[in-house]
Amino acid sequence: MEVVRDIHDGAWAEPSGDPDVTLGAGLFALPGLVDGHAHFGAPIGADWKSDTLENAKHRVNQALSAGVLLALDKGWSDLHTVEIIDTVAPDLRPEIEAAGIINAVKEGYWPKFARELDESNFEEGVQKSLTDARGWIKFVGDWPRRGRGPVANFTEEQLRSAVHAAEAVGSRVAIHTMAREAPSMAVNAGVHSIEHGLFLDESDLERLGSRSGMWVPTILRMEAVVDQIGAESTGGKLLLEGLENVRRLLPLAAEAGVWLLAGTDVTVGAHDVAQEAQRLVDYGLAIDKALDAVSINGYAAVDRPQGFEVGSSADAVLFGANPRDEFGVLTHPEVIIRRGRLVA
């Protein structure tokens, strides 16, 4: 379908008169690529390391230059992404929603990295997280303990109270869960986005989909963790079992009404989110569904315009071939437009 639009004050407008410049004839357009699990504060490929604000800005620019026009940053050990949102002009970066400092419990995440919560400071910590962030709050839902394996960090009631607090101020809750304990509990609590979610099941997808929840499998990241800890280790075997469960569930997610999103985590940068979309295809997701997962699903999931609606931000990524026929074309857009401005 051909859509003809003009640009006025950075927004899409109905065409009027003869255009000064015509872009996109014969090209295929998306409103933008979307990274559903970015960490702009993180050095790419490095766990539990902080980095400079300038390097975070560089990663944001890389994402924009690759056609990523919406990113959901799921927090880090600092507030660099929040500072970027507040100080960098919107036309010079993707649209970004961000959690702030990640929330965990003592011994429930990388040492001295997250905000550590317990019964005495849980409510205060949630409110601090919501104040510091821009639209999201992130919890580490489970984490391995020596000699015990993965353990849930929070109760269902704690997560439910965090969801209520977030919704009261127009924010959303995301949860990291790689093991068996936390996924169903998080879905029951109303958590908006399940990150990794290796051990979700069909009933979880049905409940998550009934309220238009999100699932971000981050396959590249999970495979990298297996490589780090060894496929024959206890943890590696658990994650490989979980990845097979992801392979089984991916085709069911859209049918259940779940917003399935491609997310990079820290294994590759947001500018390489097309690699994660390809991994979704490799795991059995239909190409059109994977294309949705790296584009319009992200917009719909956070209630943003999904196309080229008059009055919406004039954003577009144009490709020389139809991604449904040549999926690899997602890695090299021909033209990128952000708020009506051509991106170099």
pLDDT band at 19 (very low <50, low <70, confident <90, very high): confident
Q: 316: closest CA among 9, 8, 11, 38?
A: 11
Bridge partner list, 175: 139, 194
Nearest by Cα to 200 from 280, 287, 258: 258
With 0-12 / 13-18 / 19 or more C-beta atoms within 10 angstroms meaning exposed / middle / buried, residue 38 is buried
270-293 as b/e, with b when 16 or more CB fall inside 10 Å?
bbbbbbbbbbbbebebebebbbbb
Give the separation between CA 328 and CA 322, rounded to whole angstroms. 10
Mean of the pLDDT values across residues 159-175?
A: 98
Report how far apart, in Å, the C-alpha atoms of 221 and of each of 78, 137, 140, 261, 264 are.
Answer: 21, 20, 15, 14, 7
Query: Is pLDDT of 180 > 90?
Result: yes
User: Percentage of residues in the chain with pLDDT exceeding 70?
Assistant: 100
Residue whose pair of structure tokens reads 């317990």 in the numeric block: 118
pLDDT tens-digit profile of 107-158?
999 999 999 999 999 999 999 999 999 999 999 999 999 888 899 999 999 9
Does this model's pTM top 0.95? Answer: yes
With cut-offs at 50, 70 and 90, classify the pLDDT of residue 1: low
Task: Give the pLDDT mean for 237-262.
Answer: 97
CA dist 337 and 316 (Å) reads 5
> What integer pLDDT is reported at residue 224 of this predicted model?
97
Contact 225, 232 (CB under 8 A): no
